[in-house]
Chain A
Amino acid sequence: MADRLPAVRMRGITKEFAGKVVANKNVDLDIYRGEILALLGENGSGKTTLMNMLSGIYYPDAGTIEINGKHRVISSPKEAIDLGIGMIHQHFKLVNVFTAAENIVLGMNEPSGFDLKAASERIRQVCDTYGFDVDPNQKIYDMSVSQKQTVEIVKQLYRGAEILILDEPTAVLTPQETDKLFAVLRNMRDDGKTVVIITHKLHEVLDISDRVAVLRKGEYVGEMITTETTAQEMTNMMVGHQVSLNIERPDVEMDYRMERIRVKNLTVRNNEGVVKLDDVSFTAYTGEILGIAGISGSGQKELLEAIAGLQPVESGSVEYVVDANSTPEEVEQLIGMDPIKIAQMGVVLSFVPEDRLGMGLVGSMDLTDNMMLRSFRDGMSPFTDRKAPKHLAELVVDELEVNTPSVSTPVRRLSGGNVQKVLVGREIAAAPTVLLSAYAVRGLDVNSSYLIYDLLNRQKGNGVAVIYVGEDLDVLLELCDRILVLCGGKVSGIVDGRTTNKNEVGLMMTKLGGGEE
């Protein structure tokens, strides 16, 4: 490939933030026409920053960019679009109350004037060419995440993008949707377009890409032809040393297992009256990790919040089994309780919510103050005691290797992985009997993710009932003892993590059936 002219040639690209954090350092990268390049790297390795410079969102401190052999200065997203570069971000930038077509033409200044009909026709052509499934007249708020993503991609193609950059496009998709996306990407490649996909999921890299470029700590460390490499080799390159890619699933003795949380016929409506959980029943045991799989928004959030006493419930019950062996069985009802009442009953229920800085932690407060978020009431004094929390913060920083200047740094300034370590560290330090976690490794790099899996496994070994809401099916299948699959607020089945496979779970996520039928 070296003799071909690259579509993009980046040389010596350097970008610093706030004059201190080096996001990219002297990166050289070539991207060729008609290929799918996977840009691989851990969190904070500078993948997104590098691509943001290509799409005009950031401007490099040093280095040059050539597009099709010509030296270019890309100083705004508009200039990037004019050069045929389009980027699909992790967070979609669509106007909810507009239709797909309106969103696609939004901000375009077509010489022919504003003609929505003609635009819709052109959109259909684009869709037919590559196999997209988009209704130009559908409103964005009526769309699934996957459909919104499709609109974003069509938007870029409609604007004449020849070089398409996708930032972790599969994070929000089911396996089936991912397959569909990949099929479309392959069509685009075969049509001569250039596709860059940013990811840290190795099996996807192997599946979709022609070539892999690896970044580590902002620096370019090398590239490989996908067919000539393995997941292990890529990981080693990404992390910089040998790592084991197996997630452990230790077996806990069966007589150690007893019922802990019993959810019966739980139905929850949100503020708008939409049913988010529909007659959900299951039991979580001590010493097990119960995985919860499902497309995002299938009721995972409501389920965990209902157990934690944060979500008003329409009907049903959540029982906490204090002691299953005593007669009569000692049971506490958690429905109708708030977090304080639950704690007062002696139930130590830890909760790692999905929204780390919007719910689990206070971003503007430092580590010490965040450590006491759930325990600041302890004691009779009207004043807060910061000694114990400070000690705990130092312990968490030490044991979980949190990268922070000090325990008096506001947590908002930490990177995503370190924020999560602080949150998980605090919740585990409470010595819980039930541990609820939502997307515990979302956005974390390989090292941090494995640390979290390890912590969860240790809790399981201590006899904690762990409920793990996850989005990466490969992880769910390797980590969890049992997997409950939610689909549209209903339980479509509970399967054994040791015997099920990705396809079965994937199908259960999209339609009812599977396990029970």
Chain B
Amino acid sequence: MIHISKRKELPLGQALAIRLGAIVLALVVCGAITTLFTGLNPISVYGAMINGAFGSQRKIWILLQETAILLCVSLALTPAFRMKFWNLGGEGQILIGGLASAACMILFGNTLPNGVVILLEIVCAIAAGAIWAFIPAFFKARWNTNETLFTLMMNYVATQIVAYFIIVWEVPKGSGQIGIINQSTEVGWLPQIGTYKYLLNIVLVALLTVLMYTYLNYSKHGYEISVVGESANTARYAGIKVDRVIMRTLLLSGAICGFAGLLLVGGTNHTITTTISGGRGFTAVMVAWLAKFNPAVMTASSLLLVFMGRGAGEISTTYGLNQSFGDILTGIILFFIIGVEFFITYRVRFEKKEKEATND
């Protein structure tokens, strides 16, 4: 007989130890599977993973940049998630924000001074993302539509709009892509800090993390978000206008997604494609859940996911395996990390059934 019962709060050390144990177990299972399927030495495979993420200065910069962008999107989703508004539209909100900044760069690149273009980009990207999230929020607040489906569908709309404008603005005609925007003038490109291409993004997102943490935990808005997330009835009882909080919070959520689009288009890529968000709108869902919607913990969970993604890429190139193998390992590790939460919340005991008692 298996008995499952809820634990009381575990001491932090013990909970940490259980989690650490899960990671070790995950690595052992991954190792066994690696040897079984590829015949490679698992230790050297892990070595390659670490090398892929931290192997050179350039790799470390890329790791940090990727972490920053993913963290930015996760921070965007978090206020909505705390409110139990399942915003799965991060992808679309990033795209629309990115499109808005690309549009500013293309349309005003030759007519307005650089500073004004950048300012316009920032405003437009944030506004575009905010509007994209506001639409489902408005319908949810007014008519209680299902936000999960609505935000998801908005992603496809955004992708198609971006695809349309790529054809409108394609360079050269017929190539089906925009290419680097303002390559010679660099108008509308976000400034670099010194010689570090990615440092500005990283600094901005670090700042955003602190702001979001403070907003959620110490502001009146943050308090309202938590109450609405727990129960709309309680919120009404406390005199909180639930509709307004939903719309306000989603404006914020979308704005930050739009900002992430700006960082991608204006900050690093200087072009727009339909795949520029690279699934971060969904990966961020996992980052936020893993961290239980705590912005501070999210820095760790986004780093973990990016590290594994980069590491998986490295082993596929180093050993000539296909990319899927790296993904399999990532999947196994995530399975253990998420699965261990069950053992932290519940205690499982096995008991033998008394034979003579049941047979008579």
Contact = CB atoms under 8 A, between A and B. Distances in A.
A70 interface: yes
Nearest to B238: A373
B3 interface: yes
A361 B239 contact: no
A364 B84 CA distance: 14
Contacts of A374: 238-239
Contact of A384 (B219, B234, B241, B360): B219
Contacts of B233: 355, 358-359
A38 B337 CA distance: 49
A483 to B, nearest CB: 26
A359 B234 contact: yes
Size bracket, chain B contacts: 20 to 34
Contacts of A376: 220, 223, 238
A18 B347 CA distance: 8
B227 interface: yes
Nearest to B6: A18
B227 A373 contact: yes
Contact of B239 (A73, A343, A353, A382): A343
A120 to B, nearest CB: 35
A383 B219 contact: yes
A20 B8 CA distance: 8
B239 A362 contact: no
B197 interface: no
Contact of A19 (B8, B221, B360): B8
B183 interface: no
Nearest to A339: B239
A109 B221 CA distance: 54
Interface in B214-242: 218-223, 226-227, 230-231, 233-234, 236-239, 241
A365 B237 contact: no
Given A374-B238, A382-B221, A362 B226 contact: yes
Interface string A36-61: 00000000000000000000000100
Contacts of B223: 369, 372, 376, 384
A75 interface: yes
A168 interface: no
A376 B356 CA distance: 62
Interface string A239-261: 00000000000000000000000
Given A70-B360, A373-B227, A383-B219, A310 B236 contact: yes
Contacts of A338: 239, 241
Interface string B336-360: 0000000000010000011011101
Interface string B238-253: 1101000000000000
B1 A362 contact: no
B7 interface: yes
A369 B227 CA distance: 10
B227 A363 contact: no
Interface residues of A, number: 36
B234 A362 contact: yes
Contacts of A310: 236-237
B5 interface: yes
A339 B235 CA distance: 11
Given A70-B360, A75-B1, A351-B237, A363 B230 contact: yes
Contact of A75 (B220, B237, B353): B353
Contact of B230 (A18, A362, A372, A383): A362
Interface string A11-23: 0000001111000
A17 B5 contact: yes
Nearest to A76: B1
B226 A365 contact: yes
Contacts of B360: 70-71
The 9 tightest CB contacts between A and B, nearest first, are A339-B239, A340-B239, A18-B8, A359-B233, A73-B357, A362-B230, A373-B238, A359-B237, A383-B218
28 contacts: A18-B5, A19-B7, A19-B347, A71-B357, A73-B353, A73-B354, A73-B357, A75-B353, A339-B236, A339-B237, A339-B239, A340-B239, A353-B237, A358-B231, A358-B234, A359-B231, A359-B234, A362-B231, A364-B230, A365-B226, A365-B230, A373-B234, A376-B223, A377-B220, A377-B239, A383-B220, A384-B219, A384-B220
Given A19-B8, A73-B358, A383-B220, 18 more contacts: A18-B5, A18-B7, A19-B347, A59-B1, A59-B3, A70-B360, A75-B1, A308-B237, A339-B237, A339-B238, A339-B239, A362-B230, A363-B230, A376-B220, A376-B238, A382-B220, A382-B221, A383-B218
